[in-house]
Amino acid sequence: MKVVVPVKRVVDYNVKVRLKADGSGVERANLKMSMNPFDEIAVEAAVRLKEKGIAHEIVAVSIGSHQSTETIRTALAMGADRGILVVTEDEVEPLAVAKILKAICGAEQPQLVITGKQAIDDDAAQTGPMLAALLGWAQATRAHTLEIDAGTARVECEVDNGLQTIALKLPAVVTTDLRLAEPRYASLPNIMKAKKKPIAEKTAAEYGVDTASRLKVLGVAEPAVRPAGVKVKSIDELLNTLQAAGAI
């Protein structure tokens, strides 16, 4: 079974982001970048399937600038076999990403696509469901557990009131939640081996996809500053404080 895992280069989750002076977006210059955390979980889930002998090849795919090569190398060091980099300087929106991934799936013929449920930069959570819709494949989102047996994926998904278990006929698209797998640290030998693994460079035009933005950002602003809370010593004082604030 071949598995495709999309990986995205984002500002590292430990970095405190700041806005550009003109309010047009987030400042990314001179910031530490890394793989989207949910995508790390997706890579780990795919590698575990390979270690069990269920998957025979893992293809890591990234869409972005040439710097996204580093993100693919991280996936290769974790255990992916090869990479595909779709080079573009555009801010690619989820629908365009899904269209590119659909074309890649057409060329690679995977039985499973595992992707993070969302990217931490835009929090769109749209790419996985859009890809499944474009391919006409079954999908499971926010996967908590994943098991593959005899052409069927059994997925336990996190829902608002608990867990939901569903069975999917492969091929399918699965998006990962935080508790699906704990990503491994790449060892130094694997990091060195990853440098020799192949990464094919493509363009969106080769897949017939226009990556031009269809959305216009009018402005980005910091959230309003919330007033500081107060400590109370009793229920009566709490009620009086809430009444004075007009909360009750």
Using CA atoms, how far residue 17 sits from 25, 39, 131, in Å, is: 10, 20, 29
Q: Are 22 and 42 in contact (CB under 8 A)?
A: no
Which pTM value belongs to this model? 0.85
Percent of the chain with pLDDT over 90: 66
Q: Is the pLDDT of residue 23 over 80?
A: no
How do residues 191-231 score in pLDDT, each as one tens digit?
A: 999 999 999 999 999 999 998 888 888 888 888 888 788 88
CATH number of the domain that residue 153 is part of: 3.40.50.620
The count of domains in the chain is 1
50, with CB counted inside 10 A (0-12, 13-18, 19+), is middle
Q: Is the pLDDT of residue 245 over 80?
A: no
- Which pLDDT score, from 0 to 100, does residue 24 have? 75
How do residues 91-146 score in pLDDT, each as one tens digit?
A: 899 999 999 999 999 999 999 999 999 998 888 999 999 999 999 999 999 999 99
Q: Give the other-Cβ count within 10 Å of 122's Cβ.
A: 14
Domain limits for position 109? 2-245
Task: Report cis status (omega within 30 of 0) of the bond before 6.
Answer: no
